[in-house]
Amino acid sequence: MAGQDLIKAVKEKGTTLEAEMSFFDHLEALRWHLMRAAISVVIFTGLAWYYYDFIFNKIIMAPFSGDFWTYRMMCKFGNSFCITHINGNIINTDMAGQFMMKLNSTILMGIIVAVPYILWELWRFIKPALLDKERRAASGFVFYASILFVVGILFGYYVIAPESIAFLAGYSISPIIQNQFTISSYLSMVATITLIIGIVFELPILIYILASIGILTGTFMRKTRRYSVVILLIIGAIISPSPDFLTTMIATVPLFALYEVGIVVASVVEKRRLKKHEEIMES
């Protein structure tokens, strides 16, 4: 009995060691993926630092100019939409404010540009744990997620951020109060709006993941569409500070489109799961 207990203990210990080694192997693999992703952010941050004059004048501060592309396009819809000047001045009130602004904005730019590579490293880490069918089904993850993120960033930068800047800079409760904005608050607002819209545009990817694990279905999304419309309108009103209905709808329509795309994605996944279940039942 003592010999059998010893053999059993050795087997159990071997199994435990194997599981521990597998766990640490995964941690080691994750560490290298994170390191490569961090290196990509550092590289793109360095490039942003090197070309900062162009980035600051042509990208960061562009929405604060009346000559910005969005404002010129709005003028084509009539004088009531035309914006030729942004009220207010950008100031700096901190001793290290301009240096920290340059540092923070270059890091932010490095992260945004590195997102497709970060997603690719994430896919490389997850891929070995997937079955062949799951790999084929999710083979376009990096491409579609990157495209949606870039489109969201562009929409936030060219549509939502300029509207927000024009409205907030022109808003005044009294003529005795002059609008002067710190460079940190300006950068924070533009960056927050742009990143939030970029993340929101990942909605179809999130829906695909939830549908794949059975939490969400196309049928459920169709049944709750009327409630989703109200929620999306609220979100559109939040991300677009201008109170007029047209501006709110400009921010909300893409969200409706993303939701409808999500319904199609969830329906496809649902049909695939039902077909697989039927095949299992028949066999």
Reported as a single tens digit per residue, the pLDDT across 173-230 is 888 888 899 999 999 999 988 998 999 899 998 888 888 777 888 888 988 888 888 8
SS3 at position 89: strand
CA-nearest of 141, 143, 109, 144 to 125 is 141
Is residue 136's pLDDT more than 50?
Answer: yes
C-alpha–C-alpha distance, residues 228 and 162, integer Å: 27
181, β-bridge pairs: 90
| 11-69 per-position pLDDT tens digit | 444 444 344 446 566 677 788 889 999 999 999 999 999 999 999 999 999 999 988 99
H or E element at residue 182: strand 180-182
Of how many residues is the chain composed?
283
Burial class (CB in 10 A: 0-12, 13-18, 19+), 75: middle
Q: Per residue in 226-245, pLDDT tens?
A: 888 888 888 887 777 666 67
Question: Quick one: which of 119, 101, 88 has its CA closest to 55?
Answer: 101
Say whether 157 sits in a helix, a strand or coil. helix
For the question of whether the overall pTM of this predicted structure is more than 0.85, the answer is: no
